[in-house]
Amino acid sequence: MTPATFQALVGMVKQRSGGVINPDQGYMLETRLAPLLKREGLPGLDALAQRLQRPGSESLAQEMTELLTTNESSFFRDGRPFEHLRALLPALHRARPAGQPLRVWSAACSTGQEAYSISILASELAEADASFAARRVEIIGTDITAAVLERARAGVFTQFEVQRGLPIRTLMKRFSQDGTRWRVNPDIAARCRFEKLNLLGDLRAVGRFDVIFCRNVLIYFDVPTKARVLAALAERLNPDGALYLGAAETAMGMATRLTPLPGERGVYALGEEGASLRA
Ligand SMILES: C[S@@+](CC[C@H](N)C(=O)[O-])C[C@H]1O[C@@H](n2cnc3c(N)ncnc32)[C@H](O)[C@@H]1O
């Protein structure tokens, strides 16, 4: 692959998804795009770059972009945000009128582990408190990559995937075995729906949320893109809600409306209005 091909391909990816691919990641293009090249009968990445110059290549460019996303996820990833949420959801429940659902968004949800972890948490809260059990919790998972959304909707995970982050008792209680795989139980799946959405696009159609998880995707964006996405997420957050970022991500110095909750790494609320749990 020539340097010009590399620049052209990574430029298309950045424009479509915001994802920055560095020059030392050329191998990733070679390996991830090999099946696409084979299917299209193209001898290599230089030929792909040429093909993508032709009019009518948008769906191929989109497919290439999705193949180059990183989709790693796990149940209850990093632990701590879910413990914070365990206290925040009942506080939001008490603050809302009866009949109004709590709305949670797993933005960049990948294969759905984050959305299902939140739903499992909601079930645990409902089982401990009859008043919370009467509260509807809606969880919307969105991602740019069609293939991961298909997997998220199926709600079926391998032994390896369930072993990462799920306590065995939770696995036995919330999943049923399906051959060598594990299927999330219908009551957990019922709170979750999954939709295709690009974080760089217009986010208004998803509505407003009490809780937004946007974790481990901003790390792939450059600073202006991060700032733009954080500002758009802040617009989608209810005044007393919270935004959770990944362990390596920060909104500091980027979106003035988002302020970190004291003592909580990666949890943000809107300005002075604050999340329900601000001290
Ligand atoms: C590493 S996964 C994170 C999954 C989950 N949030 C977690 O922390 O475990 C990142 C996801 O972001 C998605 N993604 C990348 N760029 C995106 C964009 N512009 N809009 C929406 N999703 C995007 C990828 O498809 C991928 O599934």
List per-residue pLDDT tens for the chain, 279 residues long: 999 999 999 999 999 999 999 999 999 999 999 999 999 999 999 999 999 999 999 999 999 999 999 999 999 999 999 999 999 999 999 999 999 999 999 999 999 999 999 999 999 999 999 999 999 999 999 999 999 999 999 999 999 999 999 999 999 999 999 999 999 999 999 999 999 999 999 999 999 999 999 999 999 999 999 999 999 999 999 999 999 999 999 998 876 689 999 888 899 999 766 667 665
**How far, in Å, CA of 101 to CA of 35, rounded?**
43
For position 253, what pLDDT does the model report?
Answer: 80
pTM to 2 decimals? Answer: 0.96
> Which residue lies with its CA nearest to atom 12 of ligand 1?
108
Q: How far is the CA of 82 from the centre of ligand 1 (A)?
A: 18
pLDDT at 226: 96
Question: Residue 150 carries which DSSP code?
Answer: H
Tokens of 33: 């795009």
Residue 275 half-sphere exposure toward CB, CA atoms < 13 A: 29
Dihedral sign of CA atoms 47, 53, 55, 58 in order: positive
Task: Please give the number of the atom of ligand 1 that sits closest to the Cα of 111.
Answer: 27
Cβ < 6 Å from ligand 1: which residues?
17-19, 69-73, 77, 108-110, 114, 143-145, 148, 198-200, 215-217, 246
**Region for residue 259 given its phi and psi (left: phi exceeds 0; alpha: psi -120 to 50; beta: otherwise):** beta
Length in residues, the chain: 279
Element (H, E) at 268: strand 267-270
Q: In order of start, what are the domains of the chain with their CATH numbers?
A: 3-67 (1.10.155), 80-270 (3.40.50.150)
- Find out whether 92 and 240 touch, Cβ atoms under 8 Å: yes
For residue 1, the CA-to-ligand 1 centroid distance in Å is 27
CA neighbor of 201 nearest in space, from 171, 237, 225, 173: 225
